[in-house]
Amino acid sequence: MELVIKYILLFFIYAFVGWCIEVVAKIIDDRKFVNRGFLIGPILPIYGVGVLLILLVTKQTDNFIIVFLKAIAVCSVLEYFTSWIMEVFFKTRWWDYSQRRFNLNGRICVNTMIPFGILGLFVVYLLNPFLNFVIDHSPYVLNVIFTGIFVFFILLDFIITLKVLFKIKKKIRTSAKDNTDKIRTRISKWLEGNSYVYRRLKKSFPDLDIRGKIDYMENGITKTVLIINDSVVDLTEKLRGKKR
């Protein structure tokens, strides 16, 4: 049980460290604070999961080059499939590296792989030994209390955030029979006016891309159009122009 408590604490610590890294990077790039991530609180679960996986696959590895390469592999696979899964579930593209060189389907790119490898070296050889020492020398009861508090708040955070995200998905579906540009405007207004989480998500992910399908009637035939941000109106007009 002590080992489970330790790994839960490490997950939250690294998820918070990842959030700090993303926030600092955003401040450097845009000169402003942005609460990164899709959760409300200061935590990025993908970092917590990624670091624990790195620690697992490098447990028997002493060569720092192998550690570097394994960290890149783990983080790249995790980032790719996280992007894909979230898009499948929520019809939303959270980040897009399509404009960067050496990217794979816009989900991962070399620009992020190298920093992940360096971060893996820092965690394995410096940060994790220190955190292990601190946790091992802290009172077990205190570790349990902190674990309980962290788990409670992240579960609450997940419930609230997922509720809003599924509302976004539902809104796209329930608006499927209206005119395309009106639907896009209606969805945007509804999200901006009813969801603090969505407004924060838009700040955290400037490339947030809501995707869905809209049906419209033309010459008595139902047509289906894919929503991809502002291109939806142009796409609809092109489809109608071809029919004329």
The 10s digit of each residue's pLDDT in 51-70 is 999 999 998 888 989 999 99
The per-residue pLDDT for range 150-209, each reduced to its tens digit, is 999 999 888 877 777 676 666 655 544 433 445 445 555 555 666 566 666 666 666 666
User: Is the confidence at residue 234, as pLDDT, over 50?
Assistant: no
> What is the model's pLDDT at position 36?
73
Cβ atoms of residues 8 and 150 within 8 Å: yes
175 and 145 in a common domain: no
Q: Are 42 and 117 contained in the same domain?
A: yes
Same domain, yes or no: 136 and 170: no
C-alpha R_g of the chain: 22
Residue 81 has pLDDT above 80, yes or no: yes
The answer on 187 and 112 residing in a single domain is no
**Same domain (yes/no): 145, 63:** yes
Rank 124-138, 147-161, 216-230 by mean pLDDT and report only the highest. 124-138
Q: pLDDT higher for 152 or 99?
A: 152
- 159 is a domain residue: no
- Cα distances (Å, whole numbers) of residue 216 to 75, 195, 213, 223: 41, 27, 10, 5
End-of-domain residue from the set 131, 154, 177: 154
Number of domains comprising the chain:
2
Tell me if 234 is assigned to some domain.
yes
Task: Please give the residue range of the domain that contains residue 172.
Answer: 166-243
Residue 25, pLDDT score: 82
51 and 146 in a common domain? yes
Give the tens place of pLDDT for each residue, 4-25: 999 999 999 999 999 998 888 8
Q: Indicate if 135 and 217 belong to the same structural domain.
A: no
Mean pLDDT across the stretch 73-79?
92
Pair (132, 201) in one structural domain: no
Does residue 195 share a domain with residue 149?
no
Last residue of a domain, one of 100, 126, 154: 154
Q: Do both 25 and 115 map to the same domain?
A: yes
